[in-house]
Chains A and B, each alone.
Chain A
Amino acid sequence: MSTAYPFGFLDEYAKKEVRRTTLKAVAIPGYQVPYSSREMPMGRGFGTGGLQLTLALIGEGETLKVIDQGSDDSVNAVSLRSFIEMTCVGINTTTKTEEADLIQSRHRIPEKVLREDQLLILQVPYPDPLVVVEPSEDKRKTLHGEADYSRLLVKLYEDIVKFDEITISHRYPTRINSHYVIDSSPIPRWDVPKLHQSSALILFGAGREKKIYAVPPYTKAEPLAFEDVPFRVENFTDSIGQRRSCQRCNCTSSFLDEFIDSTTGEKVYQCSDTDWCDTQQSLNRSTQAATDSENVSKIGEIAHG
């Protein structure tokens, strides 16, 4: 019994359906387009929606990056990447953001700014921001069609009254092209501004919920907020008001992971985006090397002065 798979694992009809759905998603920014969504060998909830997009879109000779929580080495990213390597013979994979043609990601948008020739595919567990205020999908579709998000705004307002803050952490509801409000997927608020006027097309795939939606390039993406309670990204300042830095590369401008070091037991902060961190580290090394060689020359000058 042979298990020879076609390129991209999915049969051509499945791919065509994903492709047609994606075109409509781009033409109707932020609208969740339904599709039949094939079962994949990994579980629903493990990125089957993002995966179907990648498999339907990627071509021989293209370069793919897969990350989870910003890291290429996270178990889920590793598992997805091996599957795509196995079923799409002829593609390249990379950890370097700037080398990738397609980036499939769970829960982060890379720190490096994406270009027009790159494609970002985000994995989505819950595509619909209105789920918190309306359990019936049929009713939600009417609200979306009419761009009626009053109940969602009321919910945000109730949060403010109760907690003096908007308490939504990730999956921040964001209005696209002044109509559809999307669930921005479990990216941190830190990443939401990257949706606005992006050079690259950003696609969202929800496999279990069977939806694809898109934020086209150069499109308005506005996180919901109030005049007196603005949208805020995560705060990385410490108790004395200093912005925390990455323990590895010293960066003070990236989203940081907070964890306990398994050997020292101390609290540690590190860049969530591992490729970004690696890049900062090598920049640090070359800056250090340049400074060192400058110093050596200076010492030489003084010595021979």
Chain B
Amino acid sequence: MLAIDPVWQADTQQAHFRLLLDAMAYPGRCLILKTLPIDGGQVALSVLSTLLDAEVSLADPHKLLKDDDWKMLQTNSVAVDEADYILCTGSQFTRFTPKLGRLKSPEQSATLILVVDKLGVGDLKLNLSGPGIQYNKLLSVTGLAAQWLARREECNIAFPLGIDLILIDDTQIAALPRTTKVEIL
């Protein structure tokens, strides 16, 4: 009997998408995933399975995914500077230039998914403000190299061009759209 991991099922993906939407609409908010991949699978699959299909592309420079994961995702594997979605380990900064979009089509820009150790706890303390945040929001993170945030700021310097971030730990997600101002405390 083939057990289909719930992350590949339509109702799970709908629920996870609503969490992603909330995360993007209320940056810095940490939201608990409904299901995690079984058998200790890559936790980022909860997010990737919801968003990816054959119409978009993914880069996995830190090799977080297995071959079987790619088969299930049915998405296109491309170089990191061409990818619609990029998956990386948060604690390990790698310098590259993701797709930033064009003035006429800023949506053709990458979404960077960073797998961190813990959201809501940690020495890296961020003060967030901007659309989606009523006054300001504090977010602590463990396992996120600060260089990612500096690089994000460089990428986002010319709005509307830029990239959007999704952070994921072992049970939660949070998001930082390009409009969020991040101050490291």
Given the interface pairs A20-B56, A59-B11, A116-B26, the reply to whether A145 lies near B131 with Cβ below 8 Å is: no
B20 x A31 contact (CB < 8 A):
no
B39 to chain A, nearest CB (A): 23
Residues of chain A contacted by B107 (CB below 8 angstroms): 21, 24-25, 28, 31, 33-34
B11 x A7 contact (CB < 8 A):
yes
Let me know if A194 is at the binding interface, CB within 8 A. no
Q: How large is the interface on A (under 10, 10 to 19, 20 to 34, 35 or more residues)?
A: 35 or more
The residues in B between 136 and 175 inclusive whose CB is less than 8 angstroms from any CB of A are 159-160, 164
A219 x B132 contact (CB < 8 A):
yes
Given the interface pairs A145-B106, A217-B132, the reply to whether A19 lies near B26 with Cβ below 8 Å is: no
The residues in A between 4 and 43 inclusive whose CB is less than 8 angstroms from any CB of B are 6-8, 12-13, 15-17, 19-29, 31, 33-34
Q: Which of B18, B51, B52, B105 contacts A59 (CB 8 A)?
A: B18
Across the interface, name the chain A residue whose C-beta is closest to B20. Answer: A23
Residues of chain A contacted by B11 (CB below 8 angstroms): 7, 59-60
B132 to chain A, nearest CB (A): 5
Alpha-carbon distance A57/B16, docked complex (angstroms): 10
Residues of chain B contacted by A17 (CB below 8 angstroms): 55
A201 x B17 contact (CB < 8 A):
no
A205 to chain B, nearest CB (A): 14
Number of A-B contacts (CB under 8 A): 107
A247 to chain B, nearest CB (A): 38
A201 x B25 contact (CB < 8 A):
yes
Alpha-carbon distance A138/B105, docked complex (angstroms): 10
Q: Which of A13, A20, A57, A179 contacts B18 (CB 8 A)?
A: A57
Across the interface, name the chain A residue whose C-beta is closest to B166. Answer: A23
Across the interface, name the chain B residue whose C-beta is closest to A218. Answer: B134
The residue in A12, A27, A31, A180 that gathers the most chain B C-beta atoms within 10 A of its C-beta is A27
B128 to chain A, nearest CB (A): 12
The residue in B56, B106, B111, B178 that gathers the most chain A C-beta atoms within 10 A of its C-beta is B106
B7 to chain A, nearest CB (A): 13
B105 x A141 contact (CB < 8 A):
yes
Q: Which of A6, A60, A145, A217 contacts B160 (CB 8 A)?
A: A145
Alpha-carbon distance A236/B131, docked complex (angstroms): 33
Across the interface, name the chain B residue whose C-beta is closest to A13. Answer: B53
Let me know if A142 is at the binding interface, CB within 8 A. yes
Residues of chain A contacted by B179 (CB below 8 angstroms): 27-29, 177, 216
The residue in B20, B56, B132 that gathers the most chain A C-beta atoms within 10 A of its C-beta is B132
Given the interface pairs A7-B10, A31-B160, the reply to whether A219 lies near B53 with Cβ below 8 Å is: no
> Please, could you name 7 A-B residue pairs with CB atoms under 8 Å apart, sorted by A?
A19-B20, A24-B107, A27-B179, A28-B177, A31-B106, A141-B104, A216-B25
Mark B residues whose CB is within 8 Å of A. Answer: 10-11, 13-15, 17-18, 20-21, 24-26, 50-56, 102-107, 109, 111, 131-134, 159-160, 164, 177-179
Mark A residues whose CB is within 8 Å of B. Answer: 6-8, 12-13, 15-17, 19-29, 31, 33-34, 56-60, 116, 138, 141-142, 145-146, 177, 179-180, 197, 201, 216-219
